[in-house]
Structure 1
Amino acid sequence: MRVSFTKMHGLGNDFVVLDARDRPLPDLTEETVKALSDRHTGIGCDQLIVMQPSTTGDFAMRIYNRDGGEVESCGNAARAVALLHGSKASVDTRGGLIMVEPDDAGARVDMGKPNFAWNAIPLQMPLDTLDMPVAWDELEHPVALGIGNPHIVFFVEDCHGVDLARIGPQIERDPLFPERINVNVATVKSRTAIDLRVWERGAGLTRACGTGACATTAAAIARGLVDRKVTVGLPGGSLQIEQADDGHIWMSGPATRSFEGSFEWDDFE
């Protein structure tokens, strides 16, 4: 079976997008995801995205990290599919229904309300999620929350000085997080600016993480560190994050179509 794909990225966080809204695909296995995501022998990407029909939204988006695991949400991928769809749409994800719309800068996404409930993130035990009494080396007193997927946020003096490649996987797989967790280290530069680096669950260090930028902004607002409209600087570029009056977090930023191609499905099974 010959399958078409679109290679896209949001601030360097890159995706292989498969559009299965009109033509169903064979069952997607963990091995196929890993093979397609491999940068040496496959197409190469951080995440594989599948657009599908939905009974609750205009279409559904399924998200697979390059390790083969399926995850609930991806803000950068949401902007990418908004660009491909070409108009305002409701998108059904495992993390809930989100709204996307293309704009002059790329796309805007309503990521919904952040959830600070310990058992919704989830954590292994009840803890104060706004000031968790835990630490990993110099990283301490984080905030934990869910915004489609689970995040932990550490506010530090210099996020670029943290050895995130070493400590990120330790935190991601700590037994405190039954479904693993995305790890954010952030430096508040002003009331309207945050610098951020992210270790992404199942993907590792990433140049940009849309849900991480939203989670970090929501955590900073909850702690009174920033205003409700913030520019989040990531290694791949900047995102505009804003909390609306109803508590929903809106993300705005670029999405780019890199190239298109096709492959034989059997070659990657």
Structure 2
Amino acid sequence: MLWNFTKMHGAGNDFVVLDGVRQPITLTPQRAQALADRHFGIGADQILLVEDPLDPAADFRYRIFNADGSEVEHCGNGARCFVRFVHEHGLSRRNPLRAEIATGLIVLHESPDGQVAVDMGSTGFTPQQLDFDADNLATRPVGQDTQYALDLGDDTHWFSIAAISNPHAVLQVEQLDDYPVNRIGPALERHPRFRQRVNVGFMQIMTRHAIRLRVYERGAGETLACGTGACAAAIAGIRQGLLDSPVQVQTRGGLLQISWDGQSLRMQGPATTVFQGQVDIDALVAHTLENKG
């Protein structure tokens, strides 16, 4: 079965985008893994699937699958690529667009300079909203924020939590370049207290309007950028009284701007098309399984 696809990225966070409106797409975890494989497939952090909406208030349904095949609630960088894809492929001329995601509706707007702004929807800061077991954990207030402590074997690590449709933990670090992101990230991502796993952000504050950020994403590993992770980090800093909106977030793949007034959350950044192609999905899955033994 041949599928048309588009390879895109938002600040280095890269995607395979599939048009499920004009072609039949059944995306299984195995197929998502094959597409995302950087050695035997196309290569991507996530697979984005554009479909007709189930909600009559939406223009499209937008679904996100991680490189490990798991479906997740939201992806901010992917949302920007989604609206660029819809416009470039003539699926709709509407601007702004309303997209249905797993947790509700988001609004997206593409500007003439190529930047895309996304109204990111609701936020939450309670353990219940992340399915996080915080019973008997040490906590400390930092401004309007609450931080939690977990022993990860080497030391006790303090972090903030935020639900930006999907779950995030944010740690503030002094020197981002030297921090053991690829050791602490997976230890926290898969900690049993996070029942749905968690995206882990590592934030270095530069000024009251600027941070540097690395994110170890749930089901994808460290990525060059994470839109919802940038939102979670900016909000954590604002709630702690360390940052003021808007916040420039420098990721390893590019710059994102986050604005938050305590209610409305907005992210702005680039969305870039890299190339288009066709893939025989069944042959790709068979090839991937054969070469991985």
TM > 0.5 fold call: yes
Shift of the alpha carbon at 1:55? 2.8
Residue among 219, 222, 225 paired with 1:202:
219
Question: For the Cα contact (< 8 Å) 1:79–1:254, is it kept in 2?
Answer: yes
Question: For the Cα contact (< 8 Å) 1:5–1:262, is it kept in 2?
Answer: yes
Q: Aligned residue for 1:89?
A: 97
Shift of the alpha carbon at 1:267? 1.4
Residue among 275, 279, 291 paired with 1:259:
275
Q: Aligned residue for 1:157?
A: 174
Instruction: Look at both structures and tell me which one has the larger radius of gyration over its CA atoms.
Output: 2
Q: What SS does the corresponding residue of 1:134 show, helix, strand or coil?
A: strand
Deviations 1:151-186 (A, max 9, x none): 000011112221111221111000110000001110
Change (3 A) 1:63 1:139: farther
Q: Aligned residue for 2:50?
A: 51
Stretches of 4+ aligned residues off by more than 4 angstroms: 126-129
Q: What SS does the corresponding residue of 1:160 show, helix, strand or coil?
A: coil
Q: Aligned residue for 1:185?
A: 202
Q: What SS does the corresponding residue of 1:79 show, helix, strand or coil?
A: helix
Asked if 1:131 is matched to 2:147, the reply is yes
Q: Distance in 2 between matches of 1:138 and 1:186?
A: 18
Q: What SS does the corresponding residue of 1:17 show, helix, strand or coil?
A: strand
Residue type at the aligned position of 1:259: F
Q: What SS does the corresponding residue of 1:22 show, helix, strand or coil?
A: coil
Q: Aligned residue for 1:22?
A: 22
Shift of the alpha carbon at 1:233? 0.6
Q: What SS does the corresponding residue of 2:177 show, helix, strand or coil?
A: helix
Deviations 1:228-269 (A, max 9, x none): 211001111110100146x12100000100000011232134
Q: What SS does the corresponding residue of 1:119 show, helix, strand or coil?
A: helix
Question: For the Cα contact (< 8 Å) 1:160–1:197, is it kept in 2?
Answer: no
Change (3 A) 1:77 1:172: same
Change (3 A) 1:266 1:148: same
Q: Distance in 2 between matches of 1:135 and 1:216?
A: 21
Question: For the Cα contact (< 8 Å) 2:66–2:72, is it kept in 1?
Answer: yes
Q: Distance in 2 between matches of 1:95 and 1:47?
A: 18
Residue type at the aligned position of 2:37: D
Residue type at the aligned position of 1:34: Q
- Aligned-pair identity in percent equals 42
Q: Any unmatched runs of 5+ in structure 1?
A: none
Question: For the Cα contact (< 8 Å) 1:20–1:50, is it kept in 2?
Answer: yes
Q: Distance in 2 between matches of 1:133 and 1:7?
A: 39
The alignment's C-alpha RMSD in Å is 1.6
Q: Distance in 2 between matches of 1:177 and 1:34?
A: 23
Question: For the Cα contact (< 8 Å) 1:199–1:206, is it kept in 2?
Answer: yes
Q: Aligned residue for 2:115?
A: 106
Identify which range, 253-262 or 80-89, moves more after superposition: 80-89
Q: What SS does the corresponding residue of 2:117 show, helix, strand or coil?
A: strand
Q: Distance in 2 between matches of 1:28 and 1:84?
A: 18
Q: TM-score, normalising length from structure 2?
A: 0.87
Q: What SS does the corresponding residue of 1:48 show, helix, strand or coil?
A: strand
Identify which range, 87-96 or 31-40, moves more after superposition: 87-96
Residue type at the aligned position of 2:252: P
Shift of the alpha carbon at 1:218? 0.9
Shift of the alpha carbon at 1:11? 1.1
Q: Aligned residue for 2:81?
A: 80
Q: What SS does the corresponding residue of 1:120 show, helix, strand or coil?
A: helix
